[in-house]
Structure 1
């Protein structure tokens, strides 16, 4: 499976939690950014492969939602032409430290290729930056090849 396709799958899955509705798991109402805002450090990070909160202080409701999302991830992958085993790691850090909401998704594929993509707002959209010629472009994804 191509790494960019895995990143797209991860984006869609994390966006469902960020939206607060959780339609990828049926319906699972969450307030991940609101909880991140009151969590120490202003960030809640979720490991979707293991279905648990790995950073920040989350309510029991969000902890349960993380478990539900983790259980639904393999089926979501299959519906999108992938396998959960194509992912070595899939972390989403929901950040509420600034005025606007953002999420950083870390995807490591089965070959060890790692990427970090930053999204802003709800729904999650790639951030835009000015290039050297003053044009607005999507912020590039940080990618590390396996073994670097």
Structure 2
């Protein structure tokens, strides 16, 4: 499976959670950034494959939402031309910085290729950087 397609699926899941609406799992209001800001770790990390919060101190509602994301993941992947088994790992770390809301999306596919992509704001947008010729480009993914 194409790694970029898996990253797009991960982005859609993280964006659904970041939006506060949880439309991927039906209408399920949540405030992941607010919970990240109030967590002693100052972040919330969600493991979408296993449906659990792996870092941070979430509310019961956010823990339930993480489980629901894992429940719908197989069908969501299929509707996007992939299989849940194409992923080896899929997680998103939500935090709030002085520059605004930030999400680090980590994807590892079954072939072992791993990447981390940084997003900001709501809806989640990839950061832009200047290349060596002064052109604006999307910030490259970091190889895992």
> Partner residue of 1:126?
126
How far residue 42 of structure 1 moved from its aligned partner, in angstroms, is 1.4
With structure 1 as the length reference, what TM-score do the two structures score? Answer: 0.93
Question: Which residue of structure 1 aligns with residue 88 of structure 2?
Answer: 88
* Structure 1 residues 70-123: Cα deviation after superposition (integer angstroms, max 9, x where no partner): 111111001111100000000100011334001000000011110000000000
Taking the TM superposition and a 5 Å limit, the aligned residue runs for 1:1-148 are 1-144=1-144
Q: How many residues align?
A: 144
Normalization by structure 2: what TM-score?
Answer: 0.96
User: Aligned-pair RMSD on alpha carbons?
Assistant: 1.0
Q: CA deviation at 1:133?
A: 2.6
Contact 1:46 1:54 in 2 (8 A): yes
- The 2-side partners of 1:68 and 1:37 are apart by 22
Unaligned runs of 5+ residues in structure 1 are none
Q: Distance in 1 between matches of 2:128 and 2:51?
A: 30
> 4+ runs of 1 displaced by more than 3 Å?
none
